[in-house]
């Protein structure tokens, strides 16, 4: 907890002017509210969900090829033939003969078949199952990534807000110092160079404040991209949060968690199974196929005034086996074998990357615990240094440059402390995401650290902007 003297130096959350139009009703929100909105409205996640359904439908497509196949066909035709003959050894009264034949016919065909043994299609069905498993893991990874992106966007707003608050306080303090320098110069107590030093520091603080305001606006727009909504205010991080090492406290335990739960690692492992099933499909291409079939054909025709019909039926078994395909089957087997090797190497690369990321994030979060404590102590030290420098300036042992530097150091320490707190929170969430344990409960646990008192609020201009809220719009409809 900061000392009361330091708390007074940090201004209350400021009303920010963000260049966005009012479209729809803005509302107050905390991290969990924003996360739920993102899960409902993020276009990338919606695309992943539709992709999963598409892959899932592929299983029904492959299953259908193993079920009975029934087809019916019909035809309606009219044909006309004309025949002319003359000469030869026929009788004189038959030296020439012309024949004109009109034929009308109707045909109907009904055929049914059932696969009895088709290893290629069964291997394709198994491959469809493996693809569903991989896509489900991909969807889980997308959901975890979205939760992390929401948290990053949310806390980047709070980070930018705290930096802006410190910058505004610094600008105000230096403005007062500049005014005092001008007064002291007018009565001859200091040289004009000290006024120029104060003016330069004020101009720098003003430029930094403008940059912080820009970063604040960009941060809010990043949050809008994920949720499709704008919020009147968002809750802030409490002064007192449990800045403790991550649980479990052993780095090896986190690596073990990642090996068991990381959706990215499991997805790479599922990719091996998909590639292996593809190899099975290629190998099945050289095996025989057997199917039962039944067919019925009927036709009715009218030829030169005479009518009649024909019908035929068949019931039997069909078998086929490729003997030589120009080498393409063996080439497909080799191709699938190499693809399997690729997936195995990809899995190993993902495993190594996951281990490295988890170890690095664990170390970083552990160090962030000490950094937050050190940054808090730096505020106390810089406050004492500023008070001593001001006292020296009053008695003439320090100049205005020393005072300005001390003020800058204090406000930088305040901003650095805020940065360290957000780095800790986000680092903890990134560690959980890499380990595959980031979920709604994780977000709710961090959400409990937020407070509505002093929430960051937005004042949106009523004119001058007409850009719409970023909404994913109506959901696409599947073709009927």
CA distances from 95 to 86, 88, 89, 100 (A): 5, 7, 8, 17
pLDDT value at position 258?
95
Is residue 28 within a helix (H) or strand (E), and if so which, with residue range?
strand 27-29
Q: What is the DSSP letter of 245?
A: P
Q: What are phi and psi of 165, to 5 degrees?
A: -60, -45
Q: Is the backbone of residue 240 left (phi > 0), alpha (psi -120 to 50) or beta?
A: beta
What radius of gyration, in Å, describes the C-alpha atoms of the chain? 39
CA pair distance 57, 76, nearest whole angstrom: 37
pLDDT value at position 66?
93
Domain spans, the chain:
4-66+118-286+326-459, 69-116+288-321
- Mean pLDDT (whole number) for 192-199: 80
CA pair distance 296, 293, nearest whole angstrom: 10
What stretches of 182-305 adopt beta strand conformation (E)? 231-237, 289-303
pLDDT value at position 164?
82
pLDDT value at position 315?
94
CA pair distance 94, 91, nearest whole angstrom: 5
pLDDT value at position 11?
36
CA pair distance 14, 213, nearest whole angstrom: 11
Lowest-confidence range among 82-91, 124-133, 346-355? Answer: 82-91
Q: What is the pLDDT of residues 361-379, one digit of tens each?
A: 999 999 999 999 999 999 9
**Structure token pair of residue 437:** 């344990």
Strand partners, 111: 71, 295
Label residue 19 by pLDDT band (50, 70, 90): very low
Is residue 85 within a helix (H) or strand (E), and if so which, with residue range?
strand 69-86
Q: What is the DSSP letter of 30?
A: -
- Mean pLDDT (whole number) for 385-414: 85
CA pair distance 34, 463, nearest whole angstrom: 26
CATH of domain 4-66+118-286+326-459: 1.20.1600.10
pLDDT value at position 233?
86
Q: What is the pLDDT of residues 158-185, one digit of tens each?
A: 988 888 888 788 788 778 877 877 877 7
Which one has a higher pLDDT value, 77 or 2?
Answer: 77
Residue 235: pLDDT above 60? yes
């Amino acid at each position: 907890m900061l000392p009361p003297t330091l708390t007074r130096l940090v201004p209350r959350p400021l009303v920010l002017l963000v260049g966005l139009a009012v479209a729809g009703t803005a509302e107050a929100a905390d991290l969990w509210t924003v996360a739920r909105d993102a899960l409902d409205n993020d276009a990338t996640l919606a695309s992943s969900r539709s992709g999963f359904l598409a892959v899932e439908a592929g299983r029904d497509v492959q299953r259908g090829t193993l079920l009975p196949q029934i087809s019916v066909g019909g035809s309606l035709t009219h044909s006309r033939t004309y025949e002319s003959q003359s000469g030869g050894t026929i009788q004189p009264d038959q030296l020439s003969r012309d024949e004109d034949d009109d034929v009308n016919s109707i045909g109907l065909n009904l055929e049914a078949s059932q696969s009895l043994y088709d290893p290629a299609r069964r291997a394709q069905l198994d491959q469809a199952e493996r693809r569903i498993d991989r896509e489900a893991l991909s969807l889980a990874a997308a959901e975890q990534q979205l939760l992390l992106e929401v948290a990053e966007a949310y806390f980047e707003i709070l980070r930018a807000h705290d930096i802006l608050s410190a910058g505004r306080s610094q600008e105000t303090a230096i403005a007062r110092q500049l005014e005092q320098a001008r007064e002291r110069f007018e009565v001859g107590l200091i040289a004009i160079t000290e006024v120029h030093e104060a003016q330069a520091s004020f101009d720098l603080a003003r430029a930094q404040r403008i940059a912080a305001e820009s970063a604040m606006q960009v941060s809010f727009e990043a949050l809008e991209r994920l949720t499709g909504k704008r919020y009147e205010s968002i809750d802030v991080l409490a002064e007192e949060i449990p800045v403790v090492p991550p649980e479990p406290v052993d780095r090896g335990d986190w690596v073990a968690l990642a090996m068991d739960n990381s959706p990215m690692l499991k997805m790479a492992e599922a990719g091996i199974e998909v590639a292996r099933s593809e190899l099975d499909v290629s190998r099945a291409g050289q095996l025989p196929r057997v199917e039962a079939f039944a067919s019925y054909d009927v036709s009715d025709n009218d030829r030169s005034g005479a009518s009649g019909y024909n019908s035929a039926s068949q019931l039997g078994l069909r078998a086929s086996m490729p003997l030589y395909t120009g080498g393409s089957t063996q080439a497909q087997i080799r191709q699938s074998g190499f693809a399997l090797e690729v997936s195995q190497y990809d899995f190993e690369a993902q495993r190594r990357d996951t281990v490295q990321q988890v170890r690095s994030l664990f170390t970083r979060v552990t160090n962030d615990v000490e950094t937050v404590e050190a940054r808090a102590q730096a505020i106390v030290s810089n406050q004492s240094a500023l008070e001593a420098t001001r006292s020296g300036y009053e008695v003439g042992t320090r100049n205005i440059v020393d005072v300005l530097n001390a003020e800058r150091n204090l406000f930088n320490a305040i901003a650095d402390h805020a940065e360290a707190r957000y780095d800790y929170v986000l680092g903890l969430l990134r560690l959980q995401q890499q380990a595959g344990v980031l979920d709604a409960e994780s977000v709710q646990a961090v959400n409990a650290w937020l407070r509505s008192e002093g929430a960051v609020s937005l004042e949106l201009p009523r004119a001058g902007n007409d850009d719409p809220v970023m909404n994913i719009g109506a959901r696409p409809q599947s073709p009927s």
